[in-house]
Structure 1
Amino acid sequence: MKTIQIRTEIPGPQSRALMVRREAAIPRGPANATPIFAARAEGAILEDVDGNRYLDFAGGIGCLNAGHRSPRVLAAIREQLEKYLHLCFAVTPYEGYVAVAEKLNALAPGNFPKKSILVNSGAEAIENSIKIARAYTKRPAVICFEDAFHGRTLLTMSLTSKTHPYKAGFEPFASDIYRIPYAYPYRG
């Protein structure tokens, strides 16, 4: 699976058949950027159900910077599966969570004590950051950048500038959100 190879029209017949099933079973909310259905992937190559191979420029929306099925990542997953599949740190703490937090704290700049929390998504990280900042400062307002995307939860949609397709029809949004422009050295 090392090269790009197109065997059928895009989308191919199997992807088209799966799209019919998808449209019948899944609402439009989780939109799809491509009309193909993945069957397998390795490194930066993604193969669809029709045998077409593509360069995967999305990488799981950025979470696969090691590529698909990296041997080192697969070995670490297998090792972890031999111990346990999943624990909720809020219920049963485990050493791996602490070790990752320690590593992140060591990598973060600054000569002061640091703490880290691990969450499921960027939206959850933003929501928790804002809750922590509001609790600490006792101030409700949040400043965000214009034209930024923050997520699809109610608070992160409030921070996201683009209305379509993210925000249309989901009002009212959180109050006390203020937008500022990105620092841009070429602005006149």
Structure 2
Amino acid sequence: MFKRFSICYILLMFCITGTSAQEDQWTGNATNLSKGNLRVNSSGRYLEYSDGTPFLYMGDTAWELISRLNDKETELYLENRREKGFTVIQTVILDELDDMDVSSNGEPKLIDGNIDKPAPDYFTHVDKVISLAAAKGLYIALLPTWGDRVDKQWGKGPEIFTPENAYRYGKWLGER
């Protein structure tokens, strides 16, 4: 009888404390970006800030974050992930599943589907998403393009990259 009572009491306490713990939300930034840039530790086994503090890569994947969500939805999503303690959001600029030519805001990603003509409004939106994430202390792990844009065997394409224009695109992104 005492065992049964003890188990019920423990379960009750677990439910009560579990419920109250869920009400507490993280209120600070996800990470302290003032510790410097990220780098691979000299051991090659983990990431750290440039001041030597280890970095916890607690990532969530939102591949279509940039192309599918509007500003309000992006704010809501990033805030939700910050509150949950994520430190990195993985996303892609030129995604696989959305219409290659048009984002959720109705703007083209590339002018005439040409990788050498990135659409200014879309890439302003890309910048905005990255800046919003940084304001919340979140890193963005940014994939420049989905694999099927290079090799159709990884999706439905279209294949728009060659070694030459891929280099130019990467250089252009890096200089931004």
Higher RCO (Cα < 8 Å, 6 or more apart): 2
Structure with a larger share of its residues in helix: 2
TM-score (norm 2): 0.23
TM-score (norm 1): 0.22
